[in-house]
Amino acid sequence: MLTVRRRGKKGSYYIRGSVTLGDKSIVVKEFSIGTSDADAASHLMAEYETTLRKELMFGPSAKLVKATIADAFNSYLSKTPPPCPSDVLRVGKLNSVIGDMKLDDLQDAWNHYRVKCLSKHKPAGQDRYRAVLQAAANVYRSEHSLDPTRLKGIKFKNQRVRFLSLDERDRLIDAYASHVQPIATMLAFHGPRIQTALQICWGAMGVDMNNKSILFEHFKTSNFQAVPMHNRVYDALLPLWLKAGRKPGGHVFVNCRGVPYQDTRKSKIPGGNPLKKAHATALRRAKIEDFTVHDWRHHWASHCVRAGIDLITIQKMGGWASLRMVERYAAVSFDHMRASIAKLS
């Protein structure tokens, strides 16, 4: 059983002892409950004993009874690696509105926040807040040996699939400024996110020219993926590697002033795309319309599908968090088959 005792003439009360239920027990090391009032101390001890008995009876899920969403955010912000700066900002906004709500009322809390704060956001933007809230809850649940939970998803159309013909691809790459052409080649033949490409370095933890491989750090999903280097990419990077003295370390890509590109993922306020102007100029030169820098990622995945690569491999190489994000490209395969079968006489 638990006991409460006072330390010192005017000191605080302390709790210690154990709580037993059947063949299970929890030993409580002595700790201060922060009060010198006897009645309050007895009340707090009774509450604490009740909480421990629930934990013995119901297991780890009993810990959710008192846990708040703010507790989950604390766990989320303390994880390794930490969330990206833009998600930290989202945590701050979410916490200011629903942080004091109970963690086991997660769906109700999310519905409340969405109605109050996200009515003017596009569905895709709302879904990013949902994903952060769900991730925070699951970090906390994992720490307490609980199964993950899932918030009801937001239905939205994110089906843009824009890709170029092989002639358009080469024409656009050639239209870029000389210092951007190797970047565009990597985007076209490996499909990384823009900042994943811009921040990559020479060596085994990045571009390994000796082994003709690339280790991409997918910042968004916090994982690394090594892939064989495409020959076109190797040829584009070889002059840069020779210029770098064939030594590991240092950014592979630099801007027109010879300076590494800013990593906007780590900015407190995420910046724009550093290739935006160079890309717009290249589009005009190549006479290509409606193709964003990010569309190089769509282009790569689409041509992977057309080449017969399965979606799971594309997901792994491209660093998508789920297969659902890649399934949009399956339609490209059907269109390719339609074009192919039309060639039969």
CATH number for 212: 1.10.443.10
Give residue-wise pLDDT tens across range 139-162. Answer: 998 888 788 999 987 765 656 788
DSSP H helical ranges for the chain: 38-58, 69-77, 85-98, 106-117, 123-143, 166-175, 181-190, 194-198, 231-243, 276-286, 295-306, 311-318, 330-341
Q: Which domain range does residue 201 map to?
A: 166-341
- Helix (H) / strand (E) element for 17: namely strand 13-21
Total structural domains in the chain?
A: 3
Least confident span in 55-69, 118-132, 157-171: 55-69
* CA 210-184-206 angle, 5° bins: 30
Can you give the pLDDT at residue 146? 82
What is the per-residue pLDDT across 44-91, written as a single tens digit (0 to 9) for each? 888 888 877 777 776 666 666 678 999 999 999 998 878 877 888 999
Q: Are residues 44 and 117 in the same domain?
A: no
- Do 199 and 278 lie in one domain? The reply is yes
> Among 50-64, 81-95, 221-235, 280-294, where is mean pLDDT lowest?
50-64
182: pLDDT strictly greater than 80? yes
CB distance 202 to 250 below 8 Å = yes
Tell if the pTM clears 0.85, that is, is over it.
no
| Cα–Cα distance, 13 to 46 (Å, whole number) | 13
| Rounded Cα distance, 105 and 98, in Å | 10
The answer to whether residue 154 sits within a structural domain is no
Question: What is the identity of the amino acid at 278?
Answer: A
Residues 276 and 301 in one domain: yes
Tokens standing for residue 131: 């994903």
E strand or H helix at 16, and its extent? strand 13-21
Q: What is the pLDDT of residue 314?
A: 93
Q: Are residues 136 and 189 in the same domain?
A: no
**Helices then strands (H, E): number in the chain?**
13, 6
- In this structure, are 178 and 317 located in the same domain? yes
Instruction: For residue 328, give every residue at least 6 positions away whose Cβ sits within 8 Å of its Cβ, in sequence order, or none.
Output: 158, 159, 161
Same domain, 49 and 105: no
